[in-house]
């Protein structure tokens, strides 16, 4: 297997295990305060691996729980955007005509809005919590995937096996989902993997701005927020969450790029 | 004469060009009609019209196609879908592209059954066994993906697909052109044999009179969208009336010098 994919997947599996077994991995209660002068803003030590924050909470444990947020936002948001993108892109590319024009106009409108500001607006409206964040990221990030799927469908729908299914009397929806879609999945996997990283970044940014996961629930983004006021003398508060975000996003991108490399030659071969 | 399908004055146009021009013929149960003509003479378009599956760019069509006392062009899309693969089945020219590359061939054979009949898993398995036997393939082949099979095997799979709902009419569009000559012969024999046992009406499209000779009862010769000659096989083969038919007959390739493609 491709080395980038192996590396990326290893990291993601480790993070997933950390997220699932957060209560075992964490060394402290992530919400436990220690407001004593010695307890606050301690540097990394064997007792507190990543130090403590301005309220004396253990940063390592907070980050361990934050992994849950980041990964679930990444996966669920991308799942939502995939369902929408696959459905609308498939219908658009398969049927063409006015259905296609309509869906493509919607996609263009989505492209016109700066997505991040759109998300910020909607979250401000609906209220900041993790469920809203996942759903809103999902609802606003399907346009690229929709275009990609549509383009795949435009070529695949002219293939003989699609005609052959039509001649058999197979229904349109079944042709779209059982015959064409499985043949269009390779680029979809690539794009979805890359979007997971993107969604995690957006969540961190939202939490950093106070529009995502609300304190005291820990997320990588809001640990960063707390850290920004102390960046001069408590580097660990921004360094560790920053690195965690970097590594996670990088891992998803490596998997995506690796997949692209692996799948593309096969794609051109079978066309 | 009992007709099962009647094509009346069928005309198909792409913009200003006539690709099928005033074509009429009938199909009878248990009989094989060969539709012969050079490449581009409109054979495939005639066949697609019978399933109401002409390409979108075919913007004008005229005429009538009567099946079961209904004009196919008057049916709504859902009624038409229920006829396709169920009452009128079609098998394509290209065994290398007409199967879905990522679906097991057994599953593809039962697609039409899923589309038209409510059948339990066991009933479908039973039918699949029957069909595999009918096309003389080992049952285990049904678990393969298309790229694992040779051209001749895929052709048989496609035949099994077309036969799955026991259609009244089977349309075959140059089913053997892409195959090696010896394999071609096997597949043709098989088709002929199945047609004789099941007694469906068959429209066999080809440009090769040696194939016509083997399989057909009647012949309909097309040129540039027109029917130029029509009649019982022996009559047309022995005493062709038009020059074009004579030319096609003289082109019968001798065994061995046919454009051969190695089975994959
Ligand atoms: N989508 C299309 N748009 C425009 N013209 C088309 C289209 N498909 C086919 N044609 C034209 O229609 C005519 C008839 O084509 P058809 O496929 O019916 O021929 P055929 O007799 O089946 O030939 P072959 O033996 O090569 O299969 C051809 O001249 C072809 O160029
Ligand atoms: Mg043709």
Residue located nearest, by CA, to atom 19 of ligand 1? B40
Q: CB distance A170–B100 less than 8 Å?
A: no
Cα–Cα distance measured from residue B80 to residue B58, given in angstroms and rounded to the nearest whole number: 18
Q: Ligand 1 atom 17: the closest Cα is on which residue? A: B44
pLDDT band at A58 (very low <50, low <70, confident <90, very high): very high
Q: Which segments within chain B are labelled E, that is strand? A: 5-14, 17-27, 32-37, 60-67, 70-71, 88-91, 169-173, 201-206, 218-223, 226-232
Assigned token pair, A259: 């997949």
- Alpha-carbon distance of A241 to A260, in angstroms, equals 29
Given a contact cutoff of 8 angstroms between Cβ atoms, the answer to whether B90 and B47 are in contact is yes
Chain A residue numbers touching B115 (CB-CB < 8 A): 168-171, 174
Q: Do B85 and A161 touch (CB under 8 A)?
A: no
- pLDDT at site A262: 83
pLDDT band at A93 (very low <50, low <70, confident <90, very high): very high
How far apart (Å, rounded) are the C-alpha atoms in residues B146 and B230? 38
**pLDDT exceeds 90 at position A94:** yes
By alpha-carbon position, which residue is closest to atom 25 of ligand 1? B39
Confidence band of B260 (pLDDT split at 50, 70, 90): very low
SS (H, E, C) A169-237: CCCHHHHHHHHHHHHHHHHHHHHHHHHHHHHHHHHHHHHHCCCCCCCCCCCHHHHHHHHHCCCCCCCHH
pLDDT at residue B263 is higher than 50: no
Question: With an 8 Å Cβ cutoff, are B102 and A183 in contact?
Answer: yes
Nearest to B97 among A161, A169, A178 (CB): A161
User: Does residue A268 carry a pLDDT above 60?
Assistant: no
Model confidence pLDDT, tens digit, residues B114-137: 999 999 999 999 999 999 999 999
Chain A residue closest to B108 (CA)?
A165
Are the beta carbons of B90 and B171 closer than 8 angstroms?
yes
Is pLDDT above 60 for A240? yes
Q: Which of A94, A99, A165 to mutate to test the interface with B (most CBs of B within 10 A)?
A: A165
pLDDT per residue over A160-171, tens digit each?
A: 999 999 999 999
What percent of chain B stands above pLDDT 70? 95
Q: What is the mean pLDDT of residues A232-257?
A: 93
Among the residue ranges A114-118, A219-223, B184-188, B259-263, the one predicted with the least confidence is B259-263
Asked if A169 lies within 8 A of B84 by C-beta distance, the reply is yes
Residue in chain A closest to B105 (alpha carbons) equals A161
Q: What residue ranges line ligand 1, CB within 6 angstroms?
A: B 14, 19, 37, 39-45, 55, 57, 207
> Average pLDDT for residues A177-201, to the nearest whole number?
92
Cis ω for the linkage preceding A216 (within 30 of 0): yes
Q: Has residue A247 got a pLDDT over 90?
A: yes
Residue A269 has pLDDT above 50, yes or no: no
Closest in B89, B97, B112 to A160, CB measured: B97
CA of B25 to the centre of ligand 2 (A): 18
Q: CA-CA distance, B257 to B237, in Å (whole number)? A: 22
Alpha-carbon distance of B166 to B200, in angstroms, equals: 8
Give the distance (Å) from ligand 2 centre to CA of residue A237: 70
Q: Distance from first CA to last CA of chain B, Å, rounded?
A: 43
Radius of gyration of chain A measured on its C-alpha atoms: 22
- Residue with the smallest CA separation from ligand 1 atom 18 is B42
Q: Which CATH fold topology does A3-23+59-270 show? A: MetI-like fold (1.10.3720)
Gap from CA of B233 to ligand 1 centroid (Å): 25
Q: Whose CA is nearest to atom 24 of ligand 1?
A: B39
Q: Tell me, what's the pLDDT at A220?
A: 93
- Residues from chain A that touch B51, judged by Cβ atoms under 8 A, are 167
pLDDT tens sequence across B83-119: 999 999 999 878 788 999 999 999 999 999 999 999 9
Residue A169, phi-psi category: left (phi > 0), alpha (psi -120 to 50), beta (remainder): left
Backbone phi, then psi, for B181, in 5-degree steps?
Answer: -55, -45
Among positive and negative, which fits the CA dihedral A27, A31, A37, A40?
Answer: positive
Q: What are phi and psi of A216, to 5 degrees?
A: -85, -5
What is the tens place of the pLDDT at every residue in B34-70? 999 988 999 999 999 999 999 888 878 899 999 989 9
C-beta separation of A156 from A183 below 8 A: yes
Q: 3-state SS of A62-129?
A: HHHHHHHHHHHHHHHHHHHHHHHHHHHHHHHHHHCHHHHHHHHHHHHHHHHCCHHHHHHHHHHHHCCC
Q: Which residues surround ligand 2, an ion (CB under 5 A)?
A: B 44
Contact A169 B82 (CB under 8 A): yes
What was the pLDDT predicted at A1? Answer: 66
* CB of A157 less than 8 A from some CB of B: no
Q: With an 8 Å Cβ cutoff, is A266 touching chain B?
A: no
**Structural contact between residues A1 and A245, judged by C-beta atoms closer than 8 angstroms:** no
Query: In sequence order, what are the residues at sequence separation of 6 or more whose Cβ sits closer than 8 angstroms to the Cβ of residue B44?
Result: B93, B173, B205
Can you tell me which atom of ligand 1 is nearest the CA of B225? 14
The alpha carbon torsion through A131, A137, A140, A144 (nearest 10 deg) reads -140
Q: What SS3 string covers B113-175?
A: HHHHCCCCHHHHHHHHHHHHHHCCCCHHHHHCCHHHCCHHHHHHHHHHHHHCCCCCEEEEECC
The verdict on A163 touching B (C-beta cutoff 8 Å) is yes
Domain ranges of chain A: 3-23+59-270
Mutate to test the pocket of ligand 1, among B17, B43, B211 (most ligand atoms within 8 A of CB): B43
Which band of pLDDT confidence, cut at 50, 70 and 90, is reported for residue B182?
confident
CA B64 to chain centre: 20
What does the pLDDT read at residue B50?
A: 93
User: What tokens were used for A213?
Assistant: 């996961």
| pLDDT value, residue A265 | 57
């Amino acid at each position: 297997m491709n080395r980038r994919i192996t590396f990326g997947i290893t990291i993601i599996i480790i993070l997933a295990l950390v997220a699932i077994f957060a209560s075992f991995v964490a060394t402290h209660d992530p919400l436990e305060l220690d407001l004593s002068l010695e307890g606050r803003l301690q540097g990394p030590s064997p007792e507190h691996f990543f130090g403590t924050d301005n309220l004396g909470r253990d940063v390592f444990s907070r980050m361990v729980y934050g992994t849950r947020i980041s990964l679930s936002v990444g996966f669920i948001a991308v799942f939502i955007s995939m369902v929408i993108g696959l459905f609308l892109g498939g219908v658009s590319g398969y049927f063409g005509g006015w259905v296609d024009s309509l869906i493509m106009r919607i996609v263009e409108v989505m492209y016109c809005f700066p997505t991040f500001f759109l998300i910020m607006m909607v979250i401000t409206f609906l209220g900041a919590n993790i469920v809203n964040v996942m759903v809103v990221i999902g609802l606003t990030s399907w346009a690229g995937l929709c275009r990609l799927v549509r383009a795949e469908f435009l070529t695949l729908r002219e293939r003989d096996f699609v005609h052959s299914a039509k001649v058999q009397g197979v229904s349109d929806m079944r042709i779209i989902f059982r015959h064409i879609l499985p043949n269009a999945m390779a680029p979809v996997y690539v794009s979805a993997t890359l979007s997971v990283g993107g969604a995690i970044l957006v969540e961190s940014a939202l939490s950093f701005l106070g529009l995502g996961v609300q304190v005291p629930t820990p997320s990588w983004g809001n640990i960063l927020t707390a850290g920004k006021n102390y960046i001069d003398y408590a580097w660990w508060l921004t360094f560790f969450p920053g690195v965690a975000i970097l590594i996670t996003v990088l891992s998803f991108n490596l998997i995506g790029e690796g997949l692209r490399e692996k799948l593309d030659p096969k794609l051109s071969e079978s066309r | 004469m009992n007709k099962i399908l009647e094509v009346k004055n069928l005309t198909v146009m792409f913009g200003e060009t006539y690709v099928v021009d005033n074509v009429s013929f009938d199909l009878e149960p248990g009989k094989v009609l060969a539709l012969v003509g050079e490449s581009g003479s409109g054979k495939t378009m005639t066949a697609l019209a019978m399933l109401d599956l002409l390409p979108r760019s075919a913007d004008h069509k005229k005429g009538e196609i009567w099946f079961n006392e209904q004009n196919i062009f008057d049916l709504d899309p859902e009624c038409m879908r229920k006829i396709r693969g169920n009452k009128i089945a079609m098998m394509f020219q290209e065994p290398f592209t007409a199967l879905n590359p990522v679906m097991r061939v057994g599953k593809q054979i039962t697609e039409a059954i899923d589309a038209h009949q409510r059948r339990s898993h066991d009933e479908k398995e039973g039918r699949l066994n029957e069909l595999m036997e009918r096309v003389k393939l080992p049952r285990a082949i049904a678990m393969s993906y298309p790229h694992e099979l040779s051209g001749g095997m895929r052709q048989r799979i496609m035949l099994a697909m077309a036969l799955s709902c026991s259609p009244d009419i089977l349309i075959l569009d140059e089913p053997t052109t892409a195959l090696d000559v010896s394999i071609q012969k096997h597949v043709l024999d098989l088709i002929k044999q199945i047609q004789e046992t099941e007694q469906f009406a068959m429209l066999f499209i080809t440009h090769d009179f040696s194939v016509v000779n083997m399989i057909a009862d009647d012949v309909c010769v097309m040129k540039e969208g027109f029917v130029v000659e029509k009649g019982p096989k022996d009559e047309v083969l022995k005493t062709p009336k038009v020059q074009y038919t004579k030319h096609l007959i003289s082109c019968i390739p001798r065994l061995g010098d046919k454009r051969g493609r190695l089975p994959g």
